[in-house]
Amino acid sequence: MEAFLVSLSTVAIAEMGDRTQLLALVLAAHYRRPWPIVAGVLCATLANHAVAGFLGAHFGRFLTASRLDLVVGISLIGMALWTLKPDKLENTEGEPRRSSAFIATCVAFFIAEIGDKTQIATVALAAAYQNLAAVVAGTTLGMLAANVPVVFLGHAFASRLPLKAIRVAAAALFLALGVVFTWRALR
């Protein structure tokens, strides 16, 4: 249960103001069909995080407990710094116009998640916890928790959130967790 809850909360917090959340906003404004967009986010995230989780679990087996704590700690400190930098959606012109909202969302989200901080968090969490299914379920639900309100409430919701304060709080949380894992590794 711990793996699931830590994964869910870590990704839900990391996703606030992330480029994939901005992508959800763009897709919702473009297609105005929330359910296919939510289904696309779910499918793309499951696929992407399952691959990331498998890689994390596979490589995590080769690490000792202290090395694993050090890798997770450094990753979380890196995420803390990365979280402070707001994401911007660079290119919205290349969106497919004739594709269904579901297909466009699946493809766009899967690609946008490659190398994203939530994917890296999934790799680190899968390396840290033995329960791959709980990690992938948690990270996927964390993505949905952050993106579904954006899809349904659109720009009015996103513009009222104190994104800078959320980024600072998330960075502080990641930094604290990173210090704890690093301290455990070094003691």
pLDDT in tens, 9-54: 999 988 887 778 878 887 887 787 899 999 999 999 999 999 999 9
Contact 112, 19 (CB under 8 A): yes
Tens digit of pLDDT at every position of the chain (187 positions) = 999 999 999 999 888 877 788 788 878 877 878 999 999 999 999 999 999 999 999 887 777 778 777 877 787 788 678 767 765 544 445 444 445 889 989 998 898 888 788 888 899 999 989 899 999 999 999 999 999 998 998 755 555 666 677 667 767 877 887 898 789 889 8
Contact 143, 38 (CB under 8 A): no
pTM of the predicted model as reported, rounded to 2 decimal places: 0.72
Q: Which of 38, 2, 55 is nearest to 143 (CA)?
A: 38
Per the structure, the count of domains in the chain is 1
Look at residue 95 in the predicted model and tell me its pLDDT.
Answer: 43
Domain that holds residue 147: 2-186
C-alpha 102/C-alpha 105 separation (Å) is 5
From residue 21, how far is each of 14, 38, 150, 151, 182 by CA, in Å?
Answer: 10, 12, 7, 9, 30
Handedness of CA 54, 176, 117, 16 (dihedral sign): positive
